[in-house]
Each structure stands twice: as C-alpha cells, then as structure tokens.
C-alpha cells in the first residue's frame, strides 16, 4: 500500500488532514520537552513528566515501528458576538460530541480499511493509535508529517484550517513514503506577536513555550487545586477552555466551519453554559446529564462550579466598572 492510497482512505474515513512521518526520534523536540518539564510548566499534570523518552521516540511505543500516520480533524465554529447574561463561553473544540470519541471511531474504521489491503493474516501490519492521551508529542510529529508549522502560541498551524484542528496518530510497522518536513528552530510567524500580546494571563512565556500554570485552558479544565485571584480576574467570558491565542491569529481567518455532524452544537453543550444552572446542581449525576459524551466530563462538578462562580464574579465587576 502506498502513502497516496492511505491518505485517500483517511479522507474517506472523515479526516481532514493526513501526513506521514518516519517513526524516528526527534532529538530537538525531546530537549525542548525536557526543559519545559524541568521548568515545571506542566503544573499539576504530573502524567506528562512520566518517561519523556517515550514521547519523542515512536519505536518505544511499537516494536519495529516504521511510520507515524498523523491525522487531523477540523472543528471550527464561528463565535456569537454577544454572550448571554450569566453565561460563560465554551472553547470551540468542546462544543459538540467529545472529539476523542469521534476520532476513535474514525481511526477504527480507517484501520479496518487499511487491513483489507493485506490479504493474508500473517502479512498484516501492526498498529497502535492514540487521540490526545497517548505518550506522544502530537504537535511535533504533526509538523514533521507536514500538517503545518508550530506558531508562537505553540499551536500547529495548517494552511487551510489554521490551528482549528485536532490531532491523533497511528504508529505502524507499515513502511510508507514519509512527508518528513524539517522542523525549523524558529517559528514562521515573522514579526507577528498578536497571540503573545492577547493572552490575558501572559502564559506565552516565549515563542512556543506555554506556562500551563497561567493558561486559562489549564486552569478551567485540568483541576488545579488553587487559582490565584489575579489569574481568576483574567478569565473574561471563558468558563471551559480558552481560544484567545487562536482567535487573534491572522492565519486562522480562512478556516471553514467544520462539516463533521458530530461537532454540531446539537451533539453537545453548544457555545454557552449557564453559570447559575451549574451552581444550582446538587450532584455529579445532574452534571453528567448535561455533559455526557462531551469533553466537559473532564473536570468534576466541583471545579465547574468554581469556574461558574469566577465567571459571575467577573461579570459583576465588569458591570460595576461600566456603571461608573
Ligand atoms: C498538555 C496539553 C495541554 C496543556 C499544555 C499546553 C502546551 N502548550 O504545552 C494545556 C492544558 C495548557 C493545553 C491547552 C490547550 N490545548 Co492542549 N494539549 C496538551 C497535550 C496533551 C500535550 C502537550 C505537550 O506535550 N506539551 C508540552 C510542550 C512542550 O509540547 P508541545 O506544546 O506539543 O510542543 C512541541 C512542539 O512545539 C515542538 N517544538 C517547539 N519548538 C520547536 C523547535 C524545534 C527546532 C523542534 C524540532 C521542535 C519544536 O516541541 C515541543 C515538544 O517538546 C496535547 C496532546 C499531545 N499528546 O500532544 C494537547 C494539544 C496540544 N492541545 C490541543 C488544544 C486544542 C489545546 C487548546 C486550544 C484547548 C482550548 N481551547 O482550551 C489549548 C491551547 C493552549 C496553547 N496555546 O497551547 C491540541 C492542539 C492542536 C493543534 N492544532 O495544535 C492538542 C494536540 C490535542 C489534540 N489531540 O488535538 N493543552
Ligand atoms: S489558551 Fe488562553 S490563556 Fe492559554 S496561552 Fe492561549 S490565550 Fe493564553
Ligand atoms: S498570532 Fe501571530 S505570532 Fe501568534 S501564532 Fe499566529 S501568526 Fe504566529
């Protein structure tokens, strides 16, 4: 099977992007990652610091790995101009069905299709795959597979979809013609610094380095124990996740709205969540009724209540300063 045929299968299985990288370690990426961990920019996400060698070496994930198939799905939605009173905005990626579930189904179907090309069972290549949660540096291998370049905001940016796409990967023993792009030590953003300037908490420390402990996405989703008041005050209209450093990026203007029916708002919580509805919930069951099957099941009700309270407090403060 050649790379072209494989990519056709990926597109017909619902992926918007597909690229191939050699299953080899990327030394510079390993160094970058280890420094990031040493600086404690991962905060309480201790699972990230376990066995860093695995993250940048696919052969440690699958014996005799030859290729990494990097896949992307566009999830873009327009934002409404007005946020309803007492409501908070949900990051775009989380508004429809949980992308992990959507992608997992697509990957399973894709592998079934690939296997059809190998008649004898003995001849079947092996596959291991992950969506986000694998011990794998998805953006770095996404760049190596030619899906885009890594911008100052540390997002992987594609010509057609900007950074509005989610990544997943299949590591395989199948030898495929690689796209293998050279990663540049500098970002390709030129003089632009819009994301760095727009980040409300100053979480973009330097080009491609994010201090998670200051990032609103981390603070609202990844259950840190305590959030400093100064940071809370910068949450703005966000109640779950944050899209600001993507929103301002000029390379994100061209992305068309996602065509994937599972990312439609009817399949999830949609663009806004009513903060009072969250605060009045009495148990996880009630929270699950609202969020089951979506990415919002990651934080527990306790932390979503905290997010809701921060949102209402900020709206109250804004109102006060508007009244002056
Ligand atoms: C932990 C994590 C987070 C953390 C830390 C983010 C960060 N920037 O590191 C937090 C919770 C803050 C977070 C937030 C978000 N995340 Co996140 N996150 C991850 C996760 C699980 C691991 C990322 C990681 O390892 N970070 C450590 C840093 C050091 O690695 P890195 O950012 O990947 O950077 C690599 C490259 O930049 C490269 N590199 C940089 N410079 C150079 C230079 C050279 C020469 C070379 C060779 C390489 C190189 O090396 C780095 C590796 O060391 C990945 C999934 C995965 N398995 O990879 C998703 C992922 C990165 N997240 C994603 C998304 C969508 C988001 C949010 C937009 C969600 C939201 N709307 O709220 C925000 C965006 C914040 C931001 N600007 O990064 C997507 C990104 C898709 C894309 N197009 O880029 C991913 C890939 C998930 C997915 N499956 O699609 N996230
Ligand atoms: S997601 Fe928000 S808080 Fe995090 S780096 Fe981007 S703009 Fe800053
Ligand atoms: S906003 Fe500017 S600096 Fe930031 S990623 Fe986009 S092009 Fe690069």
Long-range CB pairs of 126-129 (<8 Å, 24+ gap) are: 126/62, 126/64, 126/172, 126/173, 127/62, 127/170, 127/171, 127/172, 127/174, 128/61, 128/62, 128/170, 128/171, 128/172, 129/168, 129/169, 129/170, 129/171
Query: What's the pLDDT at 182?
Result: 80
Q: Is the pLDDT score of 218 beyond 80?
A: yes
Q: Is the pLDDT score of 51 beyond 90?
A: no
Does 165 contact ligand 1 (Cβ within 6 A)?
Answer: yes
Q: Are the beta carbons of 56 and 159 closer than 8 angstroms? A: no
Query: What's the pLDDT at 106?
Result: 98
Q: Kindly report, residue by residue over 172-217, the tens digit of the pLDDT.
A: 999 999 998 887 777 889 999 999 999 999 999 999 999 999 999 9
Query: What's the pLDDT at 276?
Result: 98
Q: 120 pLDDT band (50/70/90 cuts)? A: confident
Q: 225 pLDDT band (50/70/90 cuts)? A: confident
Please name every residue paired with 162 in a beta bridge, in sequence order, or none if there are none.
158
Query: What's the pLDDT at 254?
Result: 82
Ligand 2 site residues, Cβ closer than 6 angstroms: 153, 199, 201, 203-204, 210, 215-217, 242, 244-245
Q: Tokens 């961990």 sit at which residue? A: 37
Query: What's the pLDDT at 322?
Result: 79
Mean pLDDT score, 261-289? 97
Does 136 contact ligand 1 (Cβ within 6 A)?
Answer: yes
* Strand, coil or helix: 172: strand
Nearest protein CA to atom 6 of ligand 2, as residue = 245
Distance 232 CA to ligand 2 centre (A): 13
């Amino acid at each position: 099977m050649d790379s072209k045929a494989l990519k056709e299968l990926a597109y017909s299985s619902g992926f918007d992007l597909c690229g191939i990288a050699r299953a080899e370690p990327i030394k510079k990426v390993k160094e970058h990652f280890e420094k990031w961990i040493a600086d404690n920019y991962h905060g309480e996400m201790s699972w990230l610091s376990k066995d860093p060698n695995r993250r940048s070496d696919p052969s440690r994930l699958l014996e005799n790995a030859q290729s990494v198939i990097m896949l992307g799905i566009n999830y873009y939605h327009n934002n409404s101009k007005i946020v309803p009173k007492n409501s908070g905005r949900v990051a775009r990626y989380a508004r429809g069905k949980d992308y992990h579930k959507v992608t997992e189904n697509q990957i399973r179907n894709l592998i079934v299709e690939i296997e059809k090309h190998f008649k004898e069972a003995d001849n079947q290549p092996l596959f291991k795959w992950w969506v986000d949660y694998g011990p794998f540096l998805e953006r770095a291998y996404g760049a190596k597979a030619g899906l885009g370049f890594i911008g100052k905001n540390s997002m992987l940016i594609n010509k057609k979809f900007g950074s509005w796409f989610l990544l997943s990967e299949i590591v395989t023993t199948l030898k495929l013609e690689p796209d293998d792009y050279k990663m540049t030590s500098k970002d390709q953003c030129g003089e632009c610094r819009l994301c760095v300037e727009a980040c409300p908490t100053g979480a973009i420390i330097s080009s491609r380095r994010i201090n998670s402990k200051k990032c609103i996405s981390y603070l609202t989703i990844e259950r840190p124990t305590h959030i400093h008041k100064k940071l809370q005050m910068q949450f703005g209209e966000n109640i779950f996740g944050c899209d600001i450093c993507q929103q301002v990026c000029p390379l994100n203007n061209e992305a068309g709205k996602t065509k994937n029916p599972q990312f439609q708002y009817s399949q999830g919580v949609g663009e806004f969540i009513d903060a009072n509805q969250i605060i009045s919930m009495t148990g996880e069951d009630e929270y699950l009724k609202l969020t089951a099957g979506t990415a919002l099941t990651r934080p527990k009700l306790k932390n979503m209540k905290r997010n809701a309270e921060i949102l209402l407090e900020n709206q109250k403060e804004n109102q006060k300063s508007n009244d002056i």
